C-alpha cells in the first residue's frame, strides 16, 4: 500500500494537529513552556483577545495538554492558573524543532530573541532525529516509511 493509497483518517500527525495545530494554541504553549501560567499574562504577552484565549485554553485543558491549578492572591477571589501536564511537556521537541527552523530561516540579523541552552554546560540545544537503534542522527534520506499496523486503504 503506497502512502497515496493509505487512508489519512487515523493519521497521527493529523490527530496531533487537531489538538495543537493552530497557531495561537502553539503560541500559548510556547509561553507556557517559558513559565507563563496566568490568563492575563497569556492574553497580554501572546497578544490575543480574551475570547480566543479562553477558547484555546479550554481546548488545551480538555485534551490534557494543560491543567488548571487554583491560586488565590490576598484580597482576591480564587482563580486558576494553567500548567503544562506531562502530555504538554512532551510537545517540547515539537516546540524546539519549530524554534530551530525559525531561528535558521526567520531570525533578525542579530539572532533570535530567546536562546535555549543546556543547564550543565551552557551550549545551545538542538532538535535532531536519531535512530532508535543507536545509530546516531539521521537525515530524511536515511529513513524510509512503511505502512503501520493500523494502515487502512483509502476509499
Contacts with a copy of itself in 71-130 (CB under 8 A)?
Answer: 87, 89-130
Beta carbon of residue 65, minimum distance to a copy of itself (angstroms, whole number): 9
Distance of CA 96 to the CA centre of its chain: 8
Establish if 51 lies at the interface with a copy of itself (CB under 8 A): no
Q: In angstroms, what CA-CA distances link 152 with 5, 8, 15, 155? A: 8, 8, 16, 9
Compute the half-sphere exposure of residue 104: CA atoms within 13 Å on the CB side of its CA.
Answer: 7
- Given candidates 28, 46, 60, 66, which one binds a copy of itself under the rule CB under 8 A? 46
Beta carbon of residue 6, minimum distance to a copy of itself (angstroms, whole number): 6
Beta carbon of residue 69, minimum distance to a copy of itself (angstroms, whole number): 18
Establish if 14 lies at the interface with a copy of itself (CB under 8 A): yes
For β-strands 66-71 and 79-84, DSSP reports them as antiparallel
Amino acid at each position: 500500500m503506497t502512502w497515496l493509497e493509505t487512508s489519512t483518517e487515523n493519521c497521527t500527525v493529523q490527530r496531533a494537529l487537531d489538538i495543537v495545530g493552530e497557531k495561537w494554541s502553539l503560541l500559548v504553549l510556547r509561553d507556557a513552556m517559558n513559565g507563563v501560567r496566568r490568563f492575563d499574562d497569556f492574553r497580554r504577552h501572546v497578544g490575543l483577545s480574551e475570547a480566543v484565549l479562553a477558547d484555546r485554553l479550554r481546548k488545551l485543558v480538555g485534551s490534557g495538554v494543560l491543567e488548571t491549578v487554583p491560586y488565590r492572591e490576598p484580597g482576591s477571589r480564587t482563580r486558576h492558573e494553567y500548567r503544562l501536564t506531562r502530555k504538554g511537556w512532551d510537545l517540547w521537541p515539537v516546540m524546539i524543532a519549530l524554534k530551530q527552523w525559525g531561528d535558521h530561516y526567520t531570525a533578525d540579523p542579530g539572532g533570535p530573541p530567546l536562546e535555549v541552552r543546556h543547564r550543565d554546560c551552557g551550549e545551545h540545544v538542538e532538535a535532531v532525529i536519531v535512530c532508535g537503534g543507536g545509530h546516531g542522527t539521521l537525515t530524511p534520506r536515511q529513513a524510509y516509511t512503511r505502512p503501520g499496523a493500523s494502515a487502512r486503504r483509502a476509499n
